[in-house]
Amino acid sequence: MSNSAETTTRTLVIERVFSHPPEKLWRALTESPLMAQWLLKNDFVPVAGKKFQFRSEPMPQWDGVIDCEVMVVDPLKRLSYSWNALGLESVVLFTLTPAEGGTHLRMEHSGFRADQQQAYGGAKYGWQRFFDGLERLLDGGAA
Amino acid sequence: MKPTAANDVFRALADPTRRAIFEELIRQGEQTVHALTRYADVSQPAVSKHLTVLKRAKLVQHRRDGRETHYRAQPAALAPVADWLRLYGAFWHERFDRLEALLERMEP
């Protein structure tokens, strides 16, 4: 608990080395139909400033939409977009680095600030449903 | 978890001064508003305002002792953030597995 709140409470980092070249990984990260196959359905275009949406399974109190905006497109190196779901705004950043026999991918999910625009009452239930839905979706998947 | 609590905690910790105040309380234990004002190097009204936000998020608790108000950190209030990280952590790990599978299927 005495560690920096910056690193321990507000940023999620996942890293993995994939035995594929950066070019291939970049395609999977930035081509909409490929993104749909591993992440979520989307209307992403790799242009900074463009707004887009991810769509997950709708739930009773949530349409399953995650509102995003492209922030950084640095081909083969960096990709970043905002990730706004149910009144909580966060940022996703992918960093690619060539590694021995493949590519090192670092995913950083951070930021989290409440969206002032969103009706508070609506956001409450929705946020809960979002977590419930994720739990169902993962169903005991690797943590 | 209580979603309202999560929202308040995220919002409270989004501000660097509030984060610093909270961390100081974790490190030092109970502190007076005066001591926190010296530490944070901002005006006392500003510190009081930050403490109010932290209090709303249940990240701190206070007690009055004569003219002084003492504040104490409540680390348990971080639980919603931990829940968030656990769930999104699981989400991204699972997505990374799918990404790996997709890369295998793709043309070189």
Where in chain B are the domains?
3-105
Å between B24 CA and nearest CA of chain A = 9
Q: Searching chain A, which residue's CA lies closest to the CA of residue B11?
A: A113
**CATH code of the domain covering residue A129:** 3.30.530.20
Whether residue B39 contacts residue B32, with contact meaning beta carbons closer than 8 Å, is answered with no
Is A64 contained in some domain? yes
What dihedral angle (degrees, nearest 10) is formed by the CA atoms of A33, A39, A43, A48?
-110
Full pLDDT tens readout for chain A, 143 residues:
333 333 333 577 889 999 999 999 999 999 999 999 999 999 999 999 999 999 987 765 567 889 999 999 999 999 999 988 766 678 899 999 999 989 999 998 876 544 333 333 333 333 334 444 434 433 433 33
* pLDDT 10s digits, A26-41: 999 999 999 999 999 9
CB distance A38–B14 less than 8 Å? Answer: no
| B29 in A contact zone (CB under 8 Å) | no
Strands (E), chain B: 31-32, 60-65, 68-73
Is A143 contained in some domain? no
Is A79 contained in some domain? yes
CB distance B78–A16 less than 8 Å? Answer: no
Please list, residue by residue across B23-50, b when 16 or more beta carbons sit within 10 angstroms of its beta carbon and e when fewer do: bbbbeeeebebebbbeebeeeeeebeeb
Confidence of residue B87 (pLDDT cuts 50, 70, 90): confident
Measured between beta carbons, the chain A residues lying within 8 angstroms of B27 are: 2
Q: Searching chain A, which residue's CA lies closest to the CA of residue B96?
A: A38
Number of structural domains in chain A:
1
Domain housing A20: 8-137
Å between A50 CA and nearest CA of chain B = 23
Is A95 contained in some domain? yes
CB distance B86–A37 less than 8 Å? Answer: no
Q: Which CATH number fits domain B3-105: 3.40.50.300, 1.10.10.10, 2.70.98.70, 1.10.40.50?
A: 1.10.10.10
